Structure 1
């Protein structure tokens, strides 16, 4: 059992927890990894993990080097007029990917999930549980429609920022939003 309280001497505890979390998420997926298990592997009390990171979801975001917590963006997407959610989703994706510093972790993640089944499982479990299922429930649409909207956006960012297809690379965000927002709106509007 891990000791309670702060360790004596210089602290590298935060980094040890992150390393333990990365191993646990990689080996067990998002759903299989537990806060207690990660804390035990790091040699700390679970309360210390909560002190540093809050929730398992927040620890995952830090451990995977996400530039933002996708679940924290959900209230922003849901606020505002329902008939403009397609535009808000498109603008959020373009803003996140348009920033070169924010784009790097996303690119690394995409490359990882494309070539590693464990990474794909981990990201899939996290995204389904913390974003896609919640968005589907909040909008009153089937999960398939929300997943299709996510696929639409991932395809867009792949072509614009990874493949760098000239029509998309050269287009302004407003031009892309004008094209893609109605499609997203259709996916995210209850029938």
Structure 2
């Protein structure tokens, strides 16, 4: 086991990912096409992995991530760290952007939201759309997260700090 997995957490996370999925090869394929079209490739790849069985595996995985009273279960942090390290972090590095990690977290939030809406909540009519229809509707938003301008609101106190540094 130690040969393949660094620790129990990595073994657990690997067990939640669809069988036969190699995160490193998956990321290599995603970034091979460059940044243009990356949003579509990410969404199409994720939907392809999790929709093979009608979303059953995704529903089971999500069920194991939620603890009592809807709070994140112990597996949620492990899976988040695993995906952050093995998938999101690697894709973010290819963006060549100082806010690449933020961009990937926005993409992840949107993709997970689509999966939950389709397979856990079964929100109509989204749940009934084909993969191609979902990709056509959602991929432009993902691409915007990846390559568009991100306007970040200033945190309290930041504007004052910036103003005082300009006055000096």
Which portions of structure 1, spanning 4 or more consecutive aligned residues, are displaced by more than 6 angstroms?
none
**Match for residue 74 of structure 2?**
118
**Match for residue 15 of structure 2?**
64
Cα drift, residue 81 of structure 1: 4.4
Structure scoring higher RCO (CA < 8 A, sep ≥ 6) equals 2
CA distance in 1, matches of 2:139, 2:124: 20
Which sections of structure 1, spanning at least 5 residues, go unmatched?
Answer: 1-16, 18-48
Matches for 1:21-170 after TM superposition, within 5 Å: 49-50=2-3, 53=4, 55-56=5-6, 60=11, 64-67=15-18, 68-100=21-53, 103-115=55-67, 116-141=72-97, 142=99, 143-170=101-128
**Match for residue 179 of structure 1?**
137
**Match for residue 165 of structure 2?**
none
Greater helix share, structure number: 1
Q: Are the structure 2 counterparts of residues 150 and 158 from structure 1 closer, same or farther at C-alpha, using a change threshold of 3 Å?
A: same
Give the count of matched residue pairs.
Answer: 139
TM-score by length of structure 1 reads 0.64
Which sections of structure 2, spanning at least 5 residues, go unmatched?
Answer: 150-168
- Aligned Cα root-mean-square deviation (Å): 2.4
Deviation per CA, 1:92-117: give whole Å up to 9, x if none.
1221122017x443322211222253
Cα drift, residue 144 of structure 1: 1.1
